[in-house]
Every structure is written in structure tokens, then in C-alpha cells.
Structure 1
Amino acid sequence: MEAFAVPGVAIAVVEDGEVVWSRPFGVTHALTRQPVDARTIFEDASLGKPVFAYLVLQLVDQAVIDLDVPLVRYRRPDYLADHPWIERITARDVLRHSTGLPNWRTSPATEKLVPMVRPGTRIDYSGEAIFWLQLAVETITGQSLDQSMQALLFGPAGMKDSSYTWNADLAARSVHGHRAHDRPGEGMPPQMFREHWTFAQQVADRWGKPLSAWKYEDAVRALPEVMALAPPGRVTWPGDIVANAAASLRTSVQDYATFLTLVMARRQRAPWEISEATRQAMLTPQIRLPGRWTEKGLGWNMEATADGPVFYHSGSNGDIFRNFAMGDAQRRRGIVVLTNGGSGSFVHQRIVRAASGHDLLSYDL
């Protein structure tokens, strides 16, 4: 941690399908020196994608969404381009990253979302696709992302310290992000979601509607007010101030490890969990392309090892948070490493290598 200027780290280990060990290290903020503890909230970044995928698969088991129906039948956001490939994109494409959509548009306030290639023909890691699927889920459930998550996953799983949005309690317990060790600068770097949420919270308080209840339409309505509060250019489109399934998940390390246990093989599953067949599909390669070194399941990366397949995902936001989670579903074991430093990947790679013996391709988003 000292070598790579990473102030805070939290690690949790799953063995035999249970969270058996977790430990915090360091501080939440390099200047205030507040210690990381068991209830510290980390910004998980793209580790939110597999969690959202689990929710989608719960809805698949409930027969309210079909992985192979074009997504436009559920919802067509007004920022989609008029393009024939748009009509072909399905939820399966989204979860296996074969939509052909870019990761994020450069100027979402003015730029239409256009596929780069025909869906299903190559891997293009896309946060935009995940966000579109989130909007479809909002339409299907009639709830905000966080409301659905709390009802279907976080509540039943006992993940009491998890949210895709923001409130005063989360603000007090959340880590701050720090620059990479090779990118020194004066003061703290911009905090992205923390700053966006701070402005949006003022509008939410005036409305009497918590951010956790906001859907995309609420963000559209709030945008002019939030833009008036924020510095110019800081907030530019509704996606900046609403829960984002691709990037805004916050959890304790214990909660994320609890989520890992839901992906493990076991004899019995609770009625609210995804079915065994669906769990296996989540961890089955969904697209095979020549020359690729990893496979895509539904929300997870899959990699073959000498001990059998493992599933994993990394997470990075704003070059100030770096996280990693991996699991071996058959051996019912896994590890989560959350950090609040832009060089956190140098830390989590070493931890995962030492703990598991695997040197995974953690940058293969």
C-alpha cells in the first residue's frame, strides 16, 4: 500500500461458500486519516455490473424479461441513434458485452448512442449498454434501480451496506479516492460520483424524494436545477445524477463477498435466488471468438486455469478507485479486494496472486 500510495484496502475471503474472513487496512482519506473499518463503504465501480446482472437474471427467472428479445421492445431511450443495429441488441448481448456499443459517449448531452459493429460479432465492453438495460428494468419493474435491488437482492441477502445511490450515511462512511502513485498532484482529486451526488442531494431534499427512489425521468427533471448548483461542465446529462448499474455501486467488502457466495455451487438455494440452471448459465461462456484469452459469461469474465474455470471482474472509476473480485464456483471459494487508490490494481493483483495462485488477466474488462 505504501509503495503504490494506496491509503485504504479491504479484503474478504470466501471458503466453502461462506464469508470466513475479512479485514480492513489503512485510512479512508489520506488527509483526515479516518481508519477503514468493517462498515466502511467503497466505491466498487464496475464490480457493480455482475451484481446488476444477477438482478436481471432474477427477472429472467420470473419471466418478466427475456434475454433474447430486442431491448428496444422494453425501452428505447431518446438518446439512441436511428440505426438498424440498435434493433438487434438484446439483454444477452448487454451482459456478455457483444452489443457493439462504446463504453461511454464523449458528450452524452449531445451525442447519440451508435453501435460500432453488428451486435454479436465481437466483444466491446460497454457501460452504456448496461445503463440502457437498467432503464429497461426500470420500465419493467416500475421502480428505481436501488428499489429493485433492495427488494430482490440486497434485502434478502442481508447486504445492508450496499446501494447504487447516495445519502448522508453513505457519504459519512464512504472512502475518498486518491491519485495513482505515478500521477502526483496538489490536494485531493475530483471525486466524481461523490460530487455529483452532493449537488443532486440538495434537489432531492427539496423534493422530499430520496436519491434511492430516483428513476431516469427524475434525473431528467432535476438536471436544470443540479446544473445550476454545480460548477460549469461538472454535470452534463441525467446519467450523471442517477444510479448507474455500470459504475455507481457502493458496498462494504463483507457485502460484496456475500454476493460472491450467491454465485457458488450448493445443494439448496433460497426461493429469491436465481435458479441453479440460471446460475450455471451466468458462468457459462456466452460468446466464443477466435483469439480471445478469456470468455464472457453473463456479467462475469471467465478464465480457464489449471484448477478449473474461475469467474472474475475488476472495477475502476476515475483513476482513483481500483477493485477486484474472483471466485471458483465449484470449489466454493473467492476473494474480494477493494481499494481507494488509482494504483490499487498493483495491490490487488499481488494479493490475489498470493492468495489464490492465479495471475488473472484482471485488465480484460
Structure 2
Amino acid sequence: MPLSFLRCVTVLAAVTSAACASAPPVTPSRDADLDATLSTIVKDTGVASVSVARIEDGRIVAVGAAGERAAGQPATPATRYNVASLTKPVSAEVVLRLASEGRFSIDDRMADAWVDPDIAGDPRHARLTPRFALAHQTGFPNWRGPSGLAFIADPGGAPGYSGEGYEYVAHYVQALTGARLDQQAQRLVFGPLGLRAIAFTATGTDALDIASSKREGHWHAPVIRATPSAADDLLTTAADYAAFVVSVMEGEGISPSLLAERRRVQADRRGEICAGIPADVCPDHAGFTLGWELFDFGGTTYYLHTGADEDAFAFVYWTPSTRSGTVILTNSPDGYRAVLPVLESIGADARFVGMLRAQASR
């Protein structure tokens, strides 16, 4: 099941001791120093494999991989991973770029183009907007239950992490534009950036380069969707996802007004984030923004997202002030064990890492 930030760091508690759209950033060849560091981390944590891409000054400066992508097969920077909920920032970016084209406003009523039959009889469906979907304020659960989709809270209220909210806005995009969200992603993001290893499904590609999953000592075939999801199971290399992050960081394809909206917390969670942690690592502002979680420390903003399913764990963060960030992909549910060691090894900001560590240890 995909994880929000807080649920991610709760899991981490177990291991705290242990360029322009037409010309994407040049991805360097495999970085030997990073490889060596990752090899040590894989050995120390027992994670099956980890693949990392580092961004500095708006460019990918290092890529590396260590461990096994399948039994007896080494992971390389070309290995693609299922990144679980790291799908959501990509979907959000597509929605924002469509809105920037003038296709719709993020405050438009989605009911004017799409209503899920399960909630058609609930008048609250008329209050749903793309903004609420991207900021986890739809009032939906994470996933619908056996009896279908239903509200568990009012739209626009307290945040509640929801994959269903992202699926809902994807239906809205298709109903309004006549194209699936993954098709719009190819047109607006993947194609212009020249990204060939990132996709919502493996249709028409070589599935052999996708990492298998290792859990409880046994290897399992990778999870590959036959139909795309806006919330889960994107396939990518660390380098391709990092190139996507660079594009987001540069604000490509997004109107100034929507960039301003993404720079602020849409759904406040500071009280929840800061509960029980030292004041010196508590962010001044924290919560969901459009497609990301946002943390502000004295004017320095960090954007973060995690992804976790039974076969994978993934983590990404970036900060616009230094135009830096890191993508961490793994092929096992205990991949969270690698996150803090990777961040510490690359010298990530001490206050940001301190917040993660403090939340993980509470």
C-alpha cells in the first residue's frame, strides 16, 4: 500500500540506528564512488538492491546502483523499478500542465465532466476539484472498499491520503480531453524530455529490465500493470525519474500562478508532523501541496514523496533553493532501510534529515 510521509518515517523507525524541455539534463555514466557507497548500504541493511540518482544545481550529477535486481542478476542504473506512489507526482504534473494549457482550472468542478457512479447519489461529489484531488482533500479513503467508492469526510476539509483521489482526477482528465492521463504524460512530459525508461505500463517495452521483488527471502515477479494507474506502479529508472524532477524543479510547462500554488501548503499537517519531535527539527510549515509533501525550514523549502507496496519502496526529495535532490529506488518492501544511510552519505541537509530521523524515532 502506498505510504504518505508520516507513515514512511514510522517504518523508518526500525532502522534509524542502522535543463529545458527539449534538452534533458545529461545523465553521467555510472558513478563508481556512489556504487561503492551503495554496495556498503546494501550489505549493511540487507535490502535487495538500491538505485540512486543525485541532482545538484539542476543537473543529474551521479547515478549508481548496487545489489541484485533478480536472483544472481546485478542491478544497474538501467534497471527499472516499480516506484509505487512516486506515480502521484508525475500524475499531478500532468494535471498542472494541462491546466496551464487552459484546458481547465484546478478549482473547476470535476462533476461537470465526470462523476463516479458509486458517489453519484451523494451531493458532495459536486464539490470535488482537481486541487482537492492533488492535495489529498477529496474526503475519499486511500482505496475504495468491496462495496465501492464512498466519502469518509467532506471534500476540502482535513487532509486524508488517497490514491482514489488521483484515480478520480485521471478519469476527469480523460473525460474532458479525450485522452488518458498516461497519454497526456507522454505528450507533455516524457516525450519532450526524451525519457524512454519511464512509463505507466510495460506495454510495448522489454519487461526483462524491470527489477523483481525480494521479500522474506524469496524472489517474486515484478508488479506490472496492464492498464495505467494515476496513483501507483509507475515503472522507471532512477535517472529518468530524476530528469522528471529537474523539469519540475525548473517549472517547465507550468503557469506562474500554478507555480505559486505549488509553493504553498494546500492542506496543513504541521501539528501532526511536529508532534513529539524536537523544536529545532520541526518545520515552520508542513503539509500536502499539489502532488507533493512540502516542508519549509526558515524559508528553505523541501518537496518529498515516498512510495511503498509489498514489492517496492521508493523515496524522492528536492529543494528549489539549491536546485538539488535525490531519487532512491529499491525492489523490496524493506527498502526504507536504505533511505537514511543514503541521505547521510550524500550530505543531505542536516535539519531535513534530522526531521526524518526524529519522526522515525518517536
| TM-score normalised according to structure 1 size | 0.77
Q: In the alignment, what sits opposite 1:80?
A: 119
1:141 and 1:148 in contact (8 A); partners too: no
* Secondary structure of 1:12 counterpart: strand
| Alignment partners' CA distance in 2, 1:336 and 1:261 | 11
How many percent of aligned residue pairs carry the same amino acid?
28
| Alignment partners' CA distance in 1, 2:308 and 2:331 | 10
Residue 279 of structure 1: how far off its partner (Å): 2.6
Residue 141 of structure 1: how far off its partner (Å): 2.3
* Secondary structure of 1:262 counterpart: helix
| Structure 2 residue corresponding to 1:42, chosen from 81, 88, 91 | 81
Q: In the alignment, what sits opposite 2:163?
A: 127
1:44 and 1:338 in contact (8 A); partners too: yes
* Secondary structure of 1:322 counterpart: strand
Amino acid at match of 1:188: W
Q: In the alignment, what sits opposite 1:300?
A: 292
2:167 and 2:231 in contact (8 A); partners too: yes
Matched, 1:19 2:60: yes
Q: Which has the higher helix share?
A: 2
| Structure 1 residue corresponding to 2:242, chosen from 254, 257, 277 | 257
Matched, 1:112 2:183: no
Amino acid at match of 2:205: D
Residue 361 of structure 1: how far off its partner (Å): 4.2
Alignment of 1:140-219 (within 5 A): 140-167=176-203, 169-179=205-215, 184=216, 187-189=218-220, 191=222, 193-194=223-224, 197=225
1:28 and 1:34 in contact (8 A); partners too: yes
Matched, 1:335 2:326: yes
| Structure 1 residue corresponding to 2:259, chosen from 279, 289, 296 | 279
2:313 and 2:334 in contact (8 A); partners too: yes
Residue 65 of structure 1: how far off its partner (Å): 1.8
2:212 and 2:221 in contact (8 A); partners too: no
Cα deviation, 1:177-232, whole Å, max 9, x if unaligned, reads 221xxxx36x43474x33xx4xxxxxxxxxxxxxxxxxxxxxxxxxxxxxxxxxxx
Residue 260 of structure 1: how far off its partner (Å): 1.1
Residue 7 of structure 1: how far off its partner (Å): 1.5
| TM-score normalised according to structure 2 size | 0.78
274-283 vs 88-97, greater mean Cα deviation: 274-283
| Alignment partners' CA distance in 2, 1:343 and 1:56 | 31
Structure 2: unaligned runs, 5 residues or longer = 1-41, 274-285
| Alignment partners' CA distance in 2, 1:98 and 1:73 | 19
Q: In the alignment, what sits opposite 2:29?
A: none
1:98 and 1:124 in contact (8 A); partners too: yes
1:11 and 1:336 in contact (8 A); partners too: yes
Residue 66 of structure 1: how far off its partner (Å): 1.5
135-144 vs 9-18, greater mean Cα deviation: 135-144
Matched, 1:326 2:317: yes
| Alignment partners' CA distance in 1, 2:202 and 2:174 | 18
RMSD: 2.2
Cα deviation, 1:143-180, whole Å, max 9, x if unaligned, reads 2332211111101012111100123634111101221x
1:322 and 1:344 in contact (8 A); partners too: yes
Matched, 1:102 2:138: no
Residue 138 of structure 1: how far off its partner (Å): 1.3
* Secondary structure of 2:69 counterpart: coil
| Alignment partners' CA distance in 2, 1:283 and 1:160 | 29
2:269 and 2:288 in contact (8 A); partners too: no
| Structure 1 residue corresponding to 2:303, chosen from 300, 311, 315 | 311
2:270 and 2:287 in contact (8 A); partners too: no
| Structure 2 residue corresponding to 1:56, chosen from 95, 109, 113 | 95
1:81 and 1:112 in contact (8 A); partners too: no
1:81 and 1:113 in contact (8 A); partners too: no
1:321 and 1:341 in contact (8 A); partners too: yes
